[in-house]
Amino acid sequence: MRPFAILNARLLDPESRLDARGGLLVVEGRIADLGPQLDGRDLPADCEVLDADGRCLAPGLVDLRVRLGEPGYEHKERIDTAVAAAAAGGFTSIAALPDTRPPVDDPAMVESVARRARLLKSVKVYTWAALTRGLEGRELAELGLLAEAGAIGATDADRQVADARIMYRALAYASVFDLLVQTHPEDASLARGGVMNAGVVATRLGLAGVPRWAEIIALERDLRLVEATGARLHVAHITTAEAVAAIRDAKARGLPVTCDVTPHHLLLGEEEVEGWRTYARIVPPLRTARDRAALIEGLADGTIDAVASDHTPQDQDSKRLPFAQAEPGTVGLETALAAVLELVHAGSLPWQRAIEVLSTGPARILRLPAGRLTKGAPADLVLFDPDERWTVTETGLHSLSKNTVFEGRTFRGRVLATWVDGRPVYPRFRTGLATSP
C-alpha cells in the first residue's frame, strides 16, 4: 500500500483535544505521524499527497446501531449497500443489530455476518447478538458462546424484554462475561398500539399515542437491575427529558450505564407527523421541543454518550400505507454527521464534542480500537467540509431504501472522503482538493 499524506487539514481529535491546522501521514494502513509540524517536508519518497485546503480531518465515525437487511430483508437493504451508505456518511465502523430473519442468536450467525462483511473490504462491521432466543424475551440466548464468536454485545433491538426476571437473569449472566447489554427503553404494555408521541398532535390527527412514561418506567426498571447485578448497560435512543435526568442520576451514583440519542430525535419533533407523513413514523416516536432541548443539553454536558443513526431501511411498499400501518424507521447513515453539525453551527455543541459523540464515544462504549487520531492507530479517517451546503434527496442516497425523515432538508457540512485502514472507501475529491504524485 502506497503511503499518503493529507496536508493543510484542520485536525480534530477528541481524545487528545487536538484542534489545529496540520497534516497526517499514513503508512501501511496506520497513522505514522500527525500534527501541525507535518507540512509536506520529509515525507516518504513515494508518498501521495492530498491538500485538504482547510477541511476537517477527524477519526472515522462509529455507529452503534445499524440494520444491514441481511439475512431476510434484502429487499430493504443489503450488506453491500449498507456499508456503501456508511462510507458515504463518514462511518468506518458500524454495529449491526440482530433483528434479521432469522435473528442473530447463535454463534454461526455472528460469524456469517462478519465473514460476508470482510469480503467487501470496506467499512468494518461488528455484530450485536440477540439477548434472548428468537428475540422473544422468554429464554436467554447463549451469551457466552456468542461473545466468544465475536459479538460486541447483546440486545433484542427494538423489543423490550418485558419479563423483569428474564432481564435480571440476562444482566447477571452478561456480567459474568463482561458483555455489554443494550436495551430498548419502552414498556411494551404502555406503548402497545401507539404510533406517535401521545399528546395534542396525536389527538388532532386521530392517531394512538405512545406516552413518555413508557420510556421512563422501562428505563427506571433496568437501572435498578443494573444496580442489582453490576452489568454494563447501554440504553438505546432515549427521547425524553425524564430519561436524560434518570441517566444523569444513574451516572452520579456510579452505575455502569451509557446511552445514545439519534440525530432525528435531536432535530425533529412530533410536528413532523402533520399530514400523516409516514417517513416520520419512528420508534421510539419523535417527541416535543422540551424533550429536544433536554437531549441537546444532555449531549453537550456528557450525560448522553453518543449519537447513533439507528439506520432502519424500509422499502416504499412498507411506507406508502396509512400512517398507523406503515413500518417505522428512517435511514440515517448518510445524514448523521450533517445533523450533528447543525448543533455545532447553532452554537449548541462544541466541535470536539460533536466528533466525540460520533466517533470516540461510540468506540469507547463498544471497546473498539477506533475513534482517535494517534500514532500507530488504524488509519480510519473522515475528511469533511464543514460549510458545504447540500440538500437531502432520495436519489442522492446510497442506501437501498430511501426512507429518510430528512428528505428535502438542506444541511451545512458534507463528507468528502472516508478511509478504512488507509484504504479509500469513499473518495469524493471536489474543487479545492488536490492530489499530487
- State the catalytic residues: 310
- From CA 321, how far away is CA 302, in angstroms rounded? 39
The answer to whether the Cα torsion of 141, 234, 214, 230 is positive or negative is: positive
**What are the CA-CA distances from residue 384 to residues 75, 266, 381 (Å)?**
31, 21, 10
Helix (H) or strand (E) segment spanning residue 418:
strand 410-420
Q: How many residues does the chain have?
A: 437
Q: Which residues pair with 423 in a beta bridge?
A: 420
CA nearest to 215, candidates 155, 141, 291: 291
CA atoms within 13 A on the CB side of 424: 15
Q: How many CB atoms lie within 10 A of CB 16?
A: 13
How, if at all, do strands 18-27 and 4-13 pair?
A: antiparallel
What residues does 420 pair with on adjacent strands? Answer: 423
Q: Which residues of 175-196 are buried (b: 16+ CB within 10 A; e: fewer)?
A: bebebbbbbbbbbeebbeebbb
Distance (Å, whole) CA 391 – CA 379: 29
